[in-house]
A = this chain, B = another copy of it.
Amino acid sequence: MSLALDDLRVRSLGACEYDSPFAEMLSTKRTSPHYVAEDDRVLVDDTVSVLLSHGVPIDQVPSFEAAGPRKKIYFDPAETTVGIVTCGGLCPGLNDVIRGIVQELTEHYRVKRIVGFRNGFKGLAKDARNSVTDLTLDAVRDINNDGGTILGSSRGAQDPDEMVDSLLIHEVDVLFVIGGDGSMRGAMRLVERVDERELDISVVGVPKTIDNDLPYTDQSFGFQTAFARATDFIASVFIESQAAEHGVGIVKLMGRHSGFIACYAALSVNEANFVLIPEVPFGLDGDDGLLCRVENRLREHGQVVIVVAEGAGQDLLECDGAKDASGNDKLGDIGLFLKDRITDRLTEVGLAPTVRYLDPSYAIRSVAANAYDSVYCVRLAHAAVHAAMAGRTQTVVVRWRRRFVHVPMALITGHRNQVDPDGDLWMSVLEATGQPATFGR
């Protein structure tokens, strides 16, 4: 393809001489995974091969191995037993992934035995009882119609040696771990023990997070289903706030460290006036603060809708530093906090607000995958099977820039994907809500 830099038409009758309304906002931005600066460009081709002809020393350019079937595989399907385990919180698509793995292994590789461990890593612990179930084609036939996971789940780690023992008891050669970053860390500890004991067992991960906070991942599976469901609740409080004289609607959505659900759901409904996410701190007080802005909005328009991610504004709360079973910080309840503070403020200034607060929580994550996520999950499952049968281990399969690739487990647990305050997504949210880039700080 001969496409080059200067093919694009820019008006030549005059220079760009007017200041953009976004000029200030753009002044400090640099290219990142979420933004391309004005003086940078996007490659048309995203594979290493394109660089070879230009003499780039290929082993120095960061790149991922592509996922997919291989001509030669490591495990002899006729002699291979496979295990599957699902860990952590529910997420739409878990059953689709289980089903896709079982179907691919059975119908194409002709693997004879696939077992599921129940209740997450607990099912691999020493004293787990009745924790193994056979996963046949019939057992997974229409499980994709249901949310949740037929294998059950749990949070928290188990002793890695006990887990290896369980794999040996059930003669498992390949273990698929479907779980979040805590589970992937658990899987890595398991691989360490496998290595130390010089066992020939592979562990392949399918990373799961409803918050979409995985690095090197376009969107985590189930995310689209989740934010689509979340839009229903924004629409509800919008309708409620519209029907009252001084109507205030507040929805708290999932997102401990990353506000993706809040951003996408708000963009989709396009009725939110304020979107509050963990990545962008905000203040309550002062002329510039949230309370004043909410009040002003209510005076001008008679209604206001706020979408807040559960991890937003944690600095405003007094937390006790408690942890949950997965070792995550327990968050303070920013939703109830905002509800109370906003109600107090508006009541003080005589606006007699009608405040509607929704915290849909589990109602969002327990639904069955939508059409898109169903396809995505089955393709992820196929990729995971190919990776494992070809001998990859301590590896996860993800989609990056719409390519399915293999990523070392350590990379995926190394840091979180977040909404980039300089990126395209947050810019779209600012454009859609009309809220300022920062306030109250």
The verdict on A40 contacting B44 (CB below 8 Å), with A90-B239, A218-B402, A408-B9 known, is no
CB-based closest 9 A-B pairs: A36-B66, A228-B371, A22-B69, A11-B391, A401-B401, A148-B239, A16-B72, A44-B62, A41-B63
Inter-chain contacts of A144 with B (CB < 8 A): 270
Q: Which residue of the partner chain, among B38, B41, B407, contacts A64 with CB atoms under 8 Å?
A: B41
Residue A48 lies at the interface, judged by CB distance under 8 Å to chain B: yes
Residue A336 lies at the interface, judged by CB distance under 8 Å to chain B: no
Q: Which residue of the partner chain, among B72, B107, B358, contacts A363 with CB atoms under 8 Å?
A: B358
Inter-chain contacts of A35 with B (CB < 8 A): 68
The verdict on A41 contacting B50 (CB below 8 Å), with A9-B393, A9-B394 known, is no
Residue A341 lies at the interface, judged by CB distance under 8 Å to chain B: no
Is A40 within 8 A of B66, CB to CB?
yes
Determine how close the nearest CB of chain B comes to the CB of A331; give it in whole angstroms: 17
Residue A437 lies at the interface, judged by CB distance under 8 Å to chain B: no
Residue A196 lies at the interface, judged by CB distance under 8 Å to chain B: no
A-B contact pairs, 16 of them (CB 8 A): A3-B63, A9-B393, A14-B391, A18-B77, A43-B43, A43-B61, A44-B62, A44-B63, A99-B270, A107-B434, A145-B145, A149-B243, A154-B244, A239-B366, A267-B375, A269-B374
Q: Number of residues in A with C-beta < 8 Å to the partner?
A: 153
Q: Which residues of A, 259-292, contact B by the 8 Å Cβ criterion?
A: 264-265, 267-270
Report the copy number of this chain in the oligomer.
4
Inter-chain contacts of A379 with B (CB < 8 A): 267, 424, 428
Is A264 within 8 A of B146, CB to CB?
no
The CA of A63 and the CA of B1, in the complex, are separated in Å by: 10
Is A424 within 8 A of B408, CB to CB?
no
Q: Mark A101-122, 1 if CB is under 8 A from B, else 0.
A: 0011001111000000001001
Is B372 within 8 A of A224, CB to CB?
yes
Is B49 within 8 A of A46, CB to CB?
no
Q: Which residue of the partner chain, among B55, B58, B152, contacts A242 with CB atoms under 8 Å?
A: B152
The CA of A244 and the CA of B427, in the complex, are separated in Å by: 36
Q: Which of A23-31, A163-171, A178-186, A308-316 contacts B (4 or more CB under 8 A)?
A: A23-31
The verdict on A237 contacting B48 (CB below 8 Å), with A26-B69, A42-B403, A200-B11 known, is no
Determine how close the nearest CB of chain B comes to the CB of A146; give it in whole angstroms: 7
Is B148 within 8 A of A240, CB to CB?
yes
The CA of A432 and the CA of B106, in the complex, are separated in Å by: 11
The CA of A84 and the CA of B178, in the complex, are separated in Å by: 41
Q: Mark A130-158, 1 if CB is under 8 A from B, else 0.
A: 00000000000010111111001110000
Is B71 within 8 A of A119, CB to CB?
no
Determine how close the nearest CB of chain B comes to the CB of A17; give it in whole angstroms: 7
Q: Which residues of A, 402-441, contact B by the 8 Å Cβ criterion?
A: 402-408, 411, 424, 427-428, 431-432, 434
Inter-chain contacts of A153 with B (CB < 8 A): 243-244
The CA of A403 and the CA of B45, in the complex, are separated in Å by: 13
Residue A7 lies at the interface, judged by CB distance under 8 Å to chain B: yes
Inter-chain contacts of A394 with B (CB < 8 A): 9
Is B54 within 8 A of A47, CB to CB?
no
Residue A248 lies at the interface, judged by CB distance under 8 Å to chain B: no
Q: Which residues of A, 222-246, contact B by the 8 Å Cβ criterion?
A: 224, 227-228, 231-233, 235-237, 239-240, 242-245
Determine how close the nearest CB of chain B comes to the CB of A337; give it in whole angstroms: 17
Residue A322 lies at the interface, judged by CB distance under 8 Å to chain B: no
Q: Mark A353-380, 1 if CB is under 8 A from B, else 0.
A: 0001011111100110011101100110
The verdict on A10 contacting B363 (CB below 8 Å), with A59-B5, A66-B41 known, is no
Inter-chain contacts of A378 with B (CB < 8 A): 267, 270, 428, 432
Is A16 within 8 A of B74, CB to CB?
yes
The CA of A144 and the CA of B145, in the complex, are separated in Å by: 12
The verdict on A428 contacting B382 (CB below 8 Å), with A16-B73, A71-B22, A236-B366 known, is yes
Is B108 within 8 A of A21, CB to CB?
yes
Residue A395 lies at the interface, judged by CB distance under 8 Å to chain B: yes
Inter-chain contacts of A31 with B (CB < 8 A): 47, 49
